[in-house]
A = this chain, B = another copy of it.
């Protein structure tokens, strides 16, 4: 039985707090794709297929032809930043895309000018932008809501989603004011410094029933107050931290080792990157936010408490080094010390010459499109099926997050099948071999 999903009619606004490397790479790319210049590689919604039915049926439609997603042609971009560079200028500074490509969509990019940011320098000391709103946190939230409504009206939009692509905020944990919506709203009025800028955007969006996805490792929508609000306004949320680069690799490789019951003594991960994100992360307070987000994945996959002999002693260390010569070309090197049969040791070294924003942009796109789909399907609150895209996925209380990218993918695909009333896939397949076995 198929779920009821409103059609993707009219235009979809994607509003982005933080028009930096990831956001501008996303926007420039979508504009280039619209013009037929480039391909949206790395985007499952645009490039991916999904298998339906039995293998012998040969049904493998593109995902975007299977579920009712917004067309790229109907997408309109906007956003906020603490710097007032338009998207063309910001993209040029980010040095991710070649000038040739940027120039082919120059007019489109120049026309997107950031709105003033809701900002607090205490949350990102290495930033010096002055293109910021004034007022208490409560007033900032009101202004952001105004921004959203104006943007929607001026662009004739049908629907909007927000995707946080702002800098990583300094490390903070949830405190009392983050526990209930009531406390949070009071804190807004009190201009309480414990409310991070990203939360102001999230609050504004959710209050308006607009989905919010968080690409950074700061808590933001991960707090009870905003989960409460998302349920109240029937709005999907997804967080946190785009899963790219080294962590992507980790959540691919670690499940492979675990599948084979290979033990792990240690995993050393180092990164070098030279973009603005790297500069912000050079501050230990901001790094800590990222580190916490990155450290969890191995534990969740290896479950050392259940697999003591294999993973009980694992030593996991992560380093991020600001290294300007590489710019946005983030590079990671991993040394993994594993052991097999009778405890014999082996090593795996992985050197990933990656491009950070190239990997992140399609994820931001997919999160936006799937959040919009979820909204139209009346799915609200935490969207665990979007874990696939996130380093530190949100789950219902009491559930351990699933970081194994392959389980995440099955979850995502079976969710789509479920939405569309197709059989879930279990890969059992005994029925191809013996009639006596039941179909599965």
Contacts and interface: CB of A to CB of B under 8 A. Distances in A.
Contacts of A101: 342
A359 interface: yes
Interface string A399-428: 110100111011100110010000011111
A310 B41 contact: yes
A346 B323 contact: no
Interface stretch (A11-19, A115-123, A430-438): A430-438
Given A317-B321, A340-B362, A41 B263 contact: yes
A353 interface: yes
A430 to B, nearest CB: 7
Most buried by B among A48, A344, A388, A398: A344
A41 B325 contact: no
Contacts of A349: 333, 349-353
Contact of A343 (B41, B259, B260, B424): B41
A309 interface: yes
A39 interface: yes
Interface string A139-163: 0000000000000000000000000
A72 to B, nearest CB: 13
Nearest to A389: B260
Interface string A252-268: 11011001111101101
A427 B399 CA distance: 13
A312 to B, nearest CB: 12
B428 A426 contact: no
Given A39-B343, A259-B405, A359-B340, A426 B429 contact: no
A107 interface: no
A29 interface: yes
Query: In this complex, which of A265, A268, A324, A425 has the most chain B Cβ atoms within 10 angstroms of its Cβ?
Result: A268
A133 interface: no
Interface string A362-387: 10000000000000000111101100
Given A323-B315, A341-B29, A384-B433, A358 B346 contact: yes
A57 interface: no
Nearest to A331: B335
Contacts of A362: 261, 340-341
A285 interface: no
A128 interface: no
A429 B411 contact: yes
Contact of A406 (B41, B255, B315, B352): B255
Interface in A304-344: 306-307, 309-310, 315, 317, 319, 321, 323-326, 331, 333, 335, 337, 339-344
Contacts of A39: 309, 342-343
A55 interface: yes
A355 interface: yes
A272 B268 contact: yes
Taking each of A260, A272, A321, A426, which has the highest tally of chain B beta carbons within 10 Å of its own beta carbon?
A260
A405 B405 CA distance: 13
A440 B426 contact: no
A319 B272 CA distance: 11
Nearest to A40: B341
Given A335-B331, A411-B428, A432-B399, A344 B319 contact: no
Given A42-B262, A342-B97, A415-B428, A350 B350 contact: yes
A348 interface: yes
Given A256-B248, A315-B323, A321-B319, A340 B428 contact: no
11 contacts: A25-B341, A29-B342, A39-B343, A41-B343, A249-B348, A266-B324, A349-B350, A379-B434, A399-B432, A414-B440, A424-B426
Given A411-B428, A426-B426, 4 more contacts: A41-B310, A42-B260, A47-B261, A48-B261
Which 5 A-B residue pairs are closest in the complex by CB-CB distance?
A: A252-B256, A266-B325, A406-B406, A47-B261, A38-B342
